[in-house]
Amino acid sequence: MLDRRGFLTALVATSGCALRLPPAPSPSRWTWSPERASLPEVSVRALTVATVQMSPHQSINGEKDRTKRLAPIAVYVLEHPTEGLLVVDTGYGRRTAADPADYPGRLATRLLGLKMKSPLVDRLGDIGRSAGDLRHALITHLHHDHGGGIEDLPPTTQLWVHEREWFAGAQRGALGTYDPLPYAGRSPTYFPFVGSAPYGPFPHHVDFFGDGTVIVLDAPGHTAGEVCVLVNRPTRSYLFTGDAAWVDRNWQDPAPIGPLPARLLVWDWRRSYDQLWRIHEWAERCPDLTVISGHEPANLDRLPAWPGTFA
């Protein structure tokens, strides 16, 4: 992990140096038409477990605005009519609620402006459930704000992660991007992407339940094992980007995150830029797709308040 001196050195070396973006890719050939009439109804809920402070300068390449805005760290609770309860990411957990200086640490807490709300496992009672009811946890990537609550999950919850991500996350990273403390003792199941077919604009996918409702998409860039999760419902579809897109403008423009976090926190920002174009194309072509960016400030107001369900 970077100490304060190391961070300040990196900050001086990279501040003000916008990323030089490659040319926009040519439109790709793909189709997407979920058979909505035959899809089971999967309920979707969003829970903000913590907030951080982010500026457009940090989250969007080329932006000068350094005004801090409140941004969510959220988890998404899905309930399948026959497969039960699963969660996309865990956010921070009880360890952080007890003492953020313990996890993710004083430096990360201060730099992020981290304010903890309620861990996931302490809010499941709002929907008449408990942690023991969580059958699966789908982790988009193992940075501490997405996997810090893994240790709160009971052993009966099956942990799913990209194989590349599991090995990358075994060591502590800069600014605590990875800190395996909450998940070091777990035994995950890897998403079976090898040999899988394309889905929409993405080259590999896993149909998690085999019925078209929950689709996991291989989206390396932000980390080596980043995934996005698509939920297809009878009315429309929701794409949860994890950190493939921090904020909406990342995929709308498209534009990567700011130069400093891109160089310090991102595995390969050029590959992450490719994923943004995939999301951009998908949203442009398909009005029945709603993209939920990982830390979009507007999500605090526009998503249904917990424990309300998505339309």
Would you say residue 14 has pLDDT above 60? no
Supply angle C-alpha 194, 76, 230, rounded to 5.
40
Residue 198 CB partners (closer than 8 Å, separation 6+): 30, 204, 205
pLDDT tens-digit series, residues 166-184 = 999 999 887 669 999 999 9
pLDDT tens-digit series, residues 112-136 = 999 999 999 999 999 999 999 999 9
The pair of three-digit structure tokens given for residue 278, joined into one six-digit string: 């995939």
Write the class of the CATH domain 39-302. alpha beta
DSSP E strand boundaries for the chain: 43-54, 69-80, 84-88, 115-116, 134-138, 158-161, 189-190, 205-207, 214-218, 227-232, 237-240, 289-292
* Residue tagged 């100490």 (tokens): 3
pLDDT of residue 27: 87
How far apart (Å, rounded) are the C-alpha atoms in residues 187 and 231? 25
pLDDT of residue 216: 98
Would you say residue 11 has pLDDT above 60? no
Q: In what order do the strands lie in the sheet with 289-292?
A: 205-207, 214-218, 227-232, 237-240, 289-292
pLDDT tens-digit series, residues 87-99 = 999 999 999 999 9
pLDDT tens-digit series, residues 134-152 = 999 999 999 999 999 999 9
Count of CB atoms situated within 10 Å of the CB of 30: 15
Query: What residue ranges do the domains of the chain occupy?
Result: 39-302
